[in-house]
Amino acid sequence: MCEFLTNLLKPKETASTTTTNTSTTEVDVVDIVDTGSTETAQTESNENTMEEKQDRTEFEKQIADYASELEKGKVRKLVEIAVHCTATKEGVEVTMEDIDKWHKARGFNKQKLSGHYCGYHYVIALDGTIMFGRYLSETGAHVKDHNSKSIGVCYVGGLDENGKAKDTRTDEQKDTLAWVISKLKSTFKIDKVQGHRDYSPDTDGNGVVDSYEWIKECPCFDAIPEYKNV
């Protein structure tokens, strides 16, 4: 009888122990995977946030330095912000090096301080990153007859896949553009913000630059109402 009970109980104890260990092992594996995934996502998020802070911090420093020099009467007053697009297809990455190459080919002069040929002061990449072109102390080359008193802000894009004008701004670009323009307006007390197309001549004299009067469609959206109250 005792031997029978011993044999009867032994398999049950072994099965129970095996089940418990297997269960514990599975839970441990799941926990490890989940923790690693969360930590990786958090690390990437922190790195992205840090990069965003770096370019925005540099931007704020640049305009603060210019504002300080302006108070001393050492630099020119800036009264306009002209919004542009790179006239490149939707989703195509463009670097400052690319723009320098294009503008050099068009005969733009290399700037002594910034070292750029780029005619814009700021260019907003697809991910919303601020790329720095000419310093504010360097006259832009983006709107004929208005360069000496304006700031050129450009976003990457402006064309659909067929090369037609289109507002291709990503959500990140829209956010950064609004932030940059708001900072420029408040720092330099600027009221006039408009797109490149809005500098076209008012040929019919009605006080409004209508779409049929546009010399070009850049920046491919109506910048005047969008940035009126930012």
Give per-residue pLDDT as tens, 212-228.
667 789 999 999 999 99
Regarding predicted confidence, which is higher, 84 or 49?
A: 84
What are the domain boundaries of the chain? 76-226
Q: Judge whether 103 and 120 are in contact, CB under 8 Å.
A: no
Q: What is the mean pLDDT of residues 162-181?
A: 98
Picking from 194, 199, 220, the residue whose alpha carbon sits closest to that of residue 209 is 199
Question: Helix axis angle, 2-71 relative to 171-188, nearest 10°?
Answer: 40
Would you give the DSSP letter of residue 59?
Answer: H
Picking from 136, 140, 121, the residue whose alpha carbon sits closest to that of residue 70 is 136
Tokens 């031997």 sit on residue: 3
Spatial separation of the C-alpha atoms in residues 105 and 117, rounded to whole Å: 9
Fold designation for 76-226: Lysozyme-like (3.40.80)
Spatial separation of the C-alpha atoms in residues 223 and 226, rounded to whole Å: 5
Angle at 124 between CA 122 and CA 127, to 5 degrees: 155
pTM of the predicted model as reported, rounded to 2 decimal places: 0.77
In the structure, what pLDDT confidence band is assigned to residue 15 with cuts at 50, 70 and 90?
Answer: very low
